[in-house]
Amino acid sequence: MKPQARPNIQGISPYIPGKPIEEVRRELGIRGQIIKLASNENPLGPSPKAVKALRKSLKEINLYPDDGCFALSKKLAAKLGVNEDQLIFGNGSVDVIEFITKTFVAPGDHVVIAEGAFIMYKIAAKMADARPSLIPLKNYVHDLDAMAAAVTPQTKVVYIANPNNPTGTMLTEAQVKAFMKKVPESCVVVFDEAYSEYIDRPDFPDTIKLLKDWPNAIVLHTFSKIYGLAGLRVGYGVGSPELISQIRKVRLPFNISLSGQVACLAALDDSKHLARSKKLNSQGREYLYQQLQALGIAYVPSEGNFILIDPKTDSMPVFTALQKLGVIVRPVKNYGYQTELRVTIGTARQNRKLIGALKQVLK
């Protein structure tokens, strides 16, 4: 008999990442330019300050990194207005999602997840052999009333993406506060805010400030999105020291690379790059909204750096045809959406190429 994965592991549908440019080039034999609008990366690239710091650090990569991320913790804690013992770093924020699940969820334990929210919550729950309640989104938004109703005194973790991927929809501070009132303190609530830096709305929750009232909540942020450092894999969680000290026990040593620490530290100083990235995103979003409206393509208004569009036809032929035109987007059938596609907001030139390709494919 061959080695068999545990039944819950066998039941996992692996995460489907956005296709890399070179893979599409190889598969389709495309010579011309290909743009990737499939993984919500920063189209401006990394901060030049981060690149400079990285270059300088290259001669030291024979050394293990600082296991405690000393300098990065210090700077980030000061920026966020928290203490260093409130931070946990992961190899991307997906790593922290797994840490939280590993720490609090035993086989058979109950967790609450929105069906149609970022798929890693489901995967992490399966890995832990948890018993999930999957609560459908309502008009593409987390249905917090239904999620609160699903929570029992035995529920160990609730996962919330705010704004949500792939829908781009946001929950307000009032909604989140009302939700937290209904959840027992024994249940960990994860607010995954991977895209929060893109948000301008005044009603977006200041979750990190609210943590002082919520010892059972943890907020996730990442350097993969607006900071443009997805390739270095650094994300982090912020929570009460009591919560964080427990989660730190499952982190493997040296999980944040030397390069990751150095680059993130420098990126935190580059407020110009952040502002440019945000502005580019807002302008691109407005342009895409106008063009999509002109083309009669439905979309879900987004608070992130991506838009869920709905050409109201099977998404796979549209995805394939766009790829042939050198535009990689993301079908989201694995989220239960049959006709929708998620497109990352790119540079002005990339956005024009996307619209041109959509025109051609859907005519």
Binding site for ligand PLP (CB under 6 A): 40, 92-94, 118, 161, 165, 192, 194, 222, 224, 230, 235
Which residues is 349 bridged to in the sheet?
A: none
Least distance CB 238 / ligand PLP (angstroms): 14
Long-range contact list for 207-213, CB < 8 A, 24+ apart?
Answer: 207/162, 207/176, 208/80, 208/81, 208/82, 208/238, 209/81, 210/173, 210/176, 210/177, 210/180, 211/82, 211/86, 211/238, 211/239, 211/240, 213/180
- Give the residue with the Cβ less far from ligand PLP, 156 or 330: 330
- Give the residue with the Cβ less far from ligand PLP, 103 or 224: 224
Measured distance CA(201)–CA(215) in Å, rounded = 25
Least distance CB 93 / ligand PLP (angstroms): 3
Measured distance CA(304)–CA(311) in Å, rounded = 20
Provide φ and ψ at 343, rounded to 5°: -120, 130
Which residue reads 């239904």 in tokens? 146
- Give the residue with the Cβ less far from ligand PLP, 114 or 151: 114
Measured distance CA(218)–CA(143) in Å, rounded = 19
Measured distance CA(275)–CA(62) in Å, rounded = 34
Measured distance CA(228)–CA(271) in Å, rounded = 13
- Give the residue with the Cβ less far from ligand PLP, 73 or 222: 222
Name the burial class of residue 213, with classes exposed (0-12), middle (13-18) and buried (19+) by CB atoms within 10 angstroms of its CB: exposed
- Give the residue with the Cβ less far from ligand PLP, 193 or 361: 193
Least distance CB 291 / ligand PLP (angstroms): 24
- Give the residue with the Cβ less far from ligand PLP, 109 or 303: 303
Helix axes 271-295, 348-362, angle to 10 degrees: 20
CA distances from 91 to 27, 230, 333 (A): 29, 10, 26
Least distance CB 26 / ligand PLP (angstroms): 24
Least distance CB 13 / ligand PLP (angstroms): 17
Which single residue brings its beta carbon nearest to ligand PLP? Answer: 92
Which of 141, 261, 144, 276 has the alpha carbon at shortest distance from 198? 276
Entry field: residues in the chain: 363
- Give the residue with the Cβ less far from ligand PLP, 93 or 315: 93
- Give the residue with the Cβ less far from ligand PLP, 101 or 355: 101
